[in-house]
Chain A
Amino acid sequence: MKKNFLKRLVTTGLATVFVASSLIGCGTTASNTADSGSSTTATSEDTTSDHPDTWIADRTITIQAYVDDIGNNLPANINDTEVMKELTKRTGIKLDIQYTPGDSDASVMASQLASGTIPDVIISYLDDSTRPEFPILLKAAKEGMFADLSSYLPDTKVYSRYLEDNYLSNDTKNNITFRDDLDGAAYILQLSIDSEDRSLEYNPADAYVGGLYIQKSIVDALGIDPTSIKTQDQFYDLLVQIKNGGFTDDNGNAVYPLGPKFWGGSSDTLEYIVPGFNWGVSDGYNITADGTIQHEADTDYVYDKINYVRKLLDEGLMNPEFFTMDSTRAEEVSRSHNSAIIADVHNYQDIVYESDDWVPLGPLNDISGDNSKITHGKKGNGAWAISADAKNPEEILKFFDYLATPEGQLLCEYGVEGVSYNLVDGKPVLTDDVLQKMNDGDKEDLVNTLGAGLGGVGCNFFHFVVTNIDNTGNFGESRPGAGSSTTYARSVEIATDYPRTLKLVPGLDATAYLSADSLTDVKAQMSLLNYNDMIVQAIYASSDDEVKSIVESFRQQLKAAGNDTFIEYLTQLYKDDSTTIDFYN
C-alpha cells in the first residue's frame, strides 16, 4: 500500500512537472510578446519647453531591416552608441533595430510580411523595381500594410523634394513610390538618392571600378595594355597567351587563365566575359532592327554565348568550377593568384587596394561595340516603409527626414563633433583615432561605441538610411575619410588610371513590367525560369546535340510561361514611350 502510494506520488510529481513546464513555456513566450509589443508602442507625450527645435517625440521606433549589410554591422545596443545618444538628445527618438538572418533577405521579408504584422518600420534593399523584393513590397503596399505618407510629405524638409519634378528617376516615381494603381498614395520611399543627377559624372574619388581584373605581373610579362582588350577574340587570344605563358600561382601550380568571381562562382559573371554576345541587354530582352521584341533565347546569340564559353572550358582556359565555386574557395584561388584573371572584383575590395597585384582588364565591348558602362539615370539603394499600424507615422517620417538633412547626415555618417571628427573650415575631418581604426579594419569600436555610418565602414544602418546625398557639397569629400584616409588611396588611383566612360540608356529592364496586374500569371511562371542558369547548364552539356535540346526546352518553357503575352505587352508599352524600356543595339 505504502509502495503504491509512493508510486502514485512520483507519477503525480512527474506529470505535474510536465504540465507545469509546458505552461511555463507558453507563459514565457506570452510575456516576451507582451514586452516586445510594449516596446513598439509610441509614447509620444511631448513636449516640454526645454526641448531643442529638432525635437520630435519621446518614443522608441522599432525597425525591422531586411538588409544584411545592416544586420551584419549592428551595434550590441544601438541606443548606447555616441551617435544614437546624440540623436536621442536632439529628437527624443530611440531605436530598436531587428535583423533576422535567413536564406535571403527577400525570403525573410516575404515570410514576415505574410504573418500580417510588422514593426513600426521596415527597411529593404531596393535599387530599382526589378529587384526580387519589389513584388513583395508592392503586394504589401496594395493590401494596406503600410501607412500612406502622401499627406505628410509636403511638410518635410528633405522628403518633400520627392514631390519635385525630375527629382526622382522615372522608375522610382512611376513604378515604386507614386504608382498610378496606388491612387495617389505613397507607401514606399527609396533611400540613398543623390540630390542632383550625377549618373553621367565619373568621379574617380568614389567610383567603383568593377569587372575583370588581371594580375599585374602577367600584364608586364606579356607586355600588353590591359585596356586594349576589348573584343571577344582579343579576350580569347589573351587567355591562350596566358595558358602558354607557363605562369604559376603562389603554390607553384599552373594558373587558370580565367578564374571565378572573387565572391564565389556565379552565372551573373557572364556579363563580364561574354558581353559581346549579350544581345538581351534588357534582362534577356531586346528589340530587333525591324522593331520586333524578342528574348535572347529565341535568337542565335544564345548559341554564340554558350559555344564561346564551351571553347574556353574545353581548352582549359577557365577554371571548370567558374560558375559554382563556393565563396571561400573562390577567395582562396584569387588570393593565391591561381586565377590569372578574376572574372569580377572591384577597386574597393582589399585584394585590390591592399597591393599593386591586380589591375582592371578591358572592359570588353558590348553588343553595340562600345565598352561604356550603361547607366539608367538616378537610382536609389534601398527603401523603407512605415507600418499601417504604427502610431503617429508622421513622427517616424519626421525622424527619417531629420536623418536626411545635412545636419542629420553629418551625425549619421561622421558621428559627434569633438568625438569622432572636428570641423576644419566648416568641413568635417575625422579624428586620427577614427581614421586609424578605419585603416586597421577595427570595427568593434566604430560600430559598438561610436555607431556612425562612416560611409558603410561603421554602423551601416546610419549609412543606409540617408537620402538626398551630396557628400562633396556638404562635407567636402565623397565619403567620410576619403580626403585623409590612406586605406583607399589605391582604389582611387585605379579609378583615376583606368577611367570608365558612361552611357545613359533611359528606361527599365523589360522584366520590371512583369509586375503589371494583367501579367500576374505570366510573372508566376516566368519567375521560375532562369535564363543564365540554362546557359550554364548548356555550357556543361556533353554534346552539341544536348546543348540544342537544353536551349529548345528553355524556349518551350518560355513560351509556355506566357512569353508571347508579355512581349505583346512590352511592344505596346515601347510603342507608347520608347524611354520606358532600356533596349539598345
Chain B
Amino acid sequence: MAVETLKKKQEISTHKKSLKKRLLQFWPLYLMLVPAIVYYTLICYVPMGGIILAFKDYSFRKGIWGSPWVGFRYFRTFFTSFDFLRLLKNTLTVGFIKCILEFPFAIILALLLNEVRNMKFKKISQTITYLPHFLSTVIIVTMLQRILAPNTGVINQIVGSLGGDSTTFFMMVPGYFFKLLFSMDLWRNIGWDSIIYLAAISGVDLALYEAASIDGCSKLKKMWYITLPGIRGTIGLLFIMGVGSMLSTGFEQIYLLRTPGNMTVADTFDTFIVRIGLMNGQFGYATAVGLIQGLVGLFLVIICNKISKKYTEVSLW
C-alpha cells in the first residue's frame, strides 16, 4: 500500500515537472531513446512521403516532387479494372487464412507446450516447431513442388500405392491453392508465433494455479479459467495488429506458389503491386494500390480496436 502511494506521488511529481527538467533528470533514458526515434523517423516515416506518388505521373528525371499531378487517376483505373473484384476476393481470402484461421493454432501450441513437464521433450518439440521459420520460402516451395509432383511426388506415390489416382497435379488445381497456402504457412510459423504466448504464460501468477489445484481444478479447467484469461491481453493485442495486415498477404509465398493453373486465385494486391510496379514500371499505379491496402488495414485496426475495447477492455490505445 505504502509502495503504491509512493509510486503515485512520484508519478504526480514527474508529470508536474517541465519537459526541460525531465530531460535533465532522466537524460540517460532519453538518450537511449534517440536511436529508436532516428530509426522510426528515417525508415518508417520519411519514406511515407512517397505516398504522394499515388497521385503523380512519376518521372525518373523529375523525381517524386517534380512529377506532374494526375489526381485520382490510378484509383479510378484500379477500382474500375477487370481485376479489382478478383484481387479483392483473393486478398481477403488469403488475409482471412493468415490472420483469422491460423491465429488460434499458435495459442494452442503454446498451451500444450506449457503443460509438458519433461523438459527434454519440451525443448526438442520447441526446436522442431521453430525450425521451419528459418527456412526460406523458396526452399519450402521447392520442397512442396517435389512432394506434390504428379506421379513422382511422395504424396502421389502413397496415393498410387493405395490404389488411388497418382496423377493429381496439386500445384495446378485452384481448389488446392488455399489449402496448400494454409498448411505451408501454419507449418512455418506456428512454432515461432507461439514464443510470445509462452512468454505471456510464464507471466501468469503461479499462486492462481496452486489455489486452483487446492480447489480440485483439472488441468483443462486451469487452462481455460487461468491461463487463457491470463494471456487475454497479449492475444487481443496480437489479433488487432494482425488484422491490420489482413490485406498484406506477403508477396514471395504467393508468387512462388503461382502456376498457370491456379493463377485465378493466386493473385493478390501484393503480387499485383509487384507486377505493375517493378515489372511494368508503373510506380504511381503500384503506389496507389499499396496506399489503398494500407488505408484499409488502418481502418480495420481502428474498428477492431474499438470493438475490442468495448467488449474485452483490451486495446492498442
Contacts and interface: CB of A to CB of B under 8 A. Distances in A.
A324 B172 CA distance: 9
B83 A528 contact: yes
A106 B282 CA distance: 13
Interface stretch (B12-20, B145-153, B181-189): B145-153
A140 B60 contact: yes
Interface in A14-39: 14-16, 18-19, 21-22
A561 B145 contact: no
Interface residues of B, number: 43
A227 interface: no
Interface stretch (A67-75, A197-205, A532-540): A532-540
Contact of B171 (A12, A16, A135, A324): A324
Nearest to A136: B281
Contacts of A540: 169, 172-173, 260-261
A114 B279 contact: no
A298 to B, nearest CB: 16
| A-B CB proximity, top 7 nearest | A536-B260, A15-B31, A143-B61, A11-B28, A107-B278, A110-B281, A15-B32
A560 interface: yes
A326 B141 CA distance: 11
B85 to A, nearest CB: 12
A528 B276 contact: yes
A104 B60 contact: no
Contact of A8 (B28, B32, B35, B171): B28
A320 interface: yes
B145 A114 contact: no
Contact of A524 (B58, B77, B150, B278): B77
Interface residues of A, number: 50
A106 B278 CA distance: 8
Given A18-B34, A524-B77, A537 B263 contact: yes
A114 B35 contact: no
Interface in B30-51: 31-32, 34-35, 38-39
Given A8-B28, A143-B59, A540-B173, 10 more contacts: A11-B32, A12-B31, A19-B34, A107-B279, A113-B60, A321-B169, A524-B285, A527-B280, A537-B261, A556-B82
The interface residues of chain A, by DSSP majority, are classed as helix
A418 interface: no
A525 B81 contact: yes
A291 interface: no
A330 to B, nearest CB: 12
B167 A326 contact: no
B278 A18 contact: no
Interface string A557-585: 10011000000000000000000000000
A56 interface: no
A323 B260 contact: yes
B29 interface: yes
With most chain A CB atoms within 10 A of its CB, the pick from B60, B149, B275 is B60
B28 A15 contact: yes
A253 B117 CA distance: 50
Interface string A261-299: 000000100000000000000000000000000000000
A103 interface: yes
B63 interface: yes
A113 B280 CA distance: 13
